[in-house]
Amino acid sequence: MASIIEFAWTYLITHFNDFQLACLGSFFLHESVFFLAGVPFIIFERLGWLSKYKIQTKNNTPAAQGKCVTRLLLYHFCVNLPVMILSYPVFKYMGMRSSLPLPSWKVVSTQILFYFILEDFIFYWGHRILHTKWLYKHVHSVHHEYATPFGLTSEYAHPAEILFLGFATIVGPAITGPHLITLWLWMVLRVLETVEAHCGYHFPLSLSNFLPLYGGADFHDYHHRLLYTKSGNYSSTFVYMDWIFGTDKGYRRLKALQGNGINQKLVFG
């Protein structure tokens, strides 16, 4: 497996320079993973597939789904891509490289774990700030246009929020200056995680059923259903920040009621 990865990586660095790989390559990888992971949930919702696993019974209209896709393409090309290009010198200055040898799996896994923990911490506080009255009204309410989220709504947000919370994703790699393959793997895992958190479905094999500290779709879906002043569940990946600061009390109360057999619809009226 390692030899296959090295062979593929040798091909890339032979045919493309660092700028092309770090900027255009990263953008292409992001778009591919994001839409391949997110589009199936639009199809599931439209066709009613796997409805028994859907967290909310309400569906988004095709027009609402189309609006989301159109805005995403605009934001990705007009915000995400320029940010990738402008941040390239910073990453290079901090030591990012694409040359062989590739880093060991121990180094890669340690760095990515650090990125997840740091991103979750920064995201939690940034997200809470966005739920203050003025910022919610003028910025964060765009993301909350979809009270019933689906995979692609994970990146549907005001451009200012994309920059504000996007900082949480890139600050870890910017600090450590990783190998580009580590940055790509981090980006893929982060995209898959946020798409899953917004997918609107809770499956038997969802990670949150096996990893106690992982939030997942059920945890984040609760955040989208409530008014901004009472939402809670502000973390991006894990649940411990909300537990420590008591911003998951409503969610835990709901789960306790559901555990006692009280229908979810009664809780929300």
What is the model's pLDDT at position 3?
85
Phi/psi of residue 177, nearest 5 degrees: 55, 65
pTM for the whole thing? 0.93
pLDDT tens across the length of the chain (269 residues):
678 999 999 999 999 999 999 999 999 999 999 999 999 999 999 999 999 999 999 999 999 999 999 999 999 999 999 999 999 999 999 999 999 999 999 999 999 999 999 999 999 999 999 999 999 999 999 999 999 999 999 999 999 999 998 899 999 999 999 999 999 999 999 999 999 999 999 999 999 999 999 999 999 999 998 766 668 999 999 999 999 999 999 999 988 988 776 554 434 43
| Residue 197: HSE in the Cβ half-sphere, 13 Å Cα cutoff | 23
How far, CA to CA in Å, does 253 sit from each of 3, 65, 180? 50, 31, 43
Entry field: residues in the chain: 269
What is the model's pLDDT at position 17?
96
Please compute Rg for the chain using Cα positions. 19
CA 43 remoteness from chain centre: 20
CA 117 remoteness from chain centre: 14
How far, CA to CA in Å, does 53 sit from each of 1, 42, 48, 211, 222? 35, 14, 11, 19, 15
What is the model's pLDDT at position 261?
62
DSSP codes of every residue in 11-63: HHHHHS-HHIIIIIIHHHHHHHHHHHHHHHHHHHHHHTTTGGGBS-S----HH
How far, CA to CA in Å, does 187 sit from each of 17, 61, 73, 116? 20, 30, 18, 11
Phi/psi of residue 179, nearest 5 degrees: -65, 150
Element (H, E) at 124: helix 105-130
Q: CB of 243 within 8 A of CB of 228?
A: no
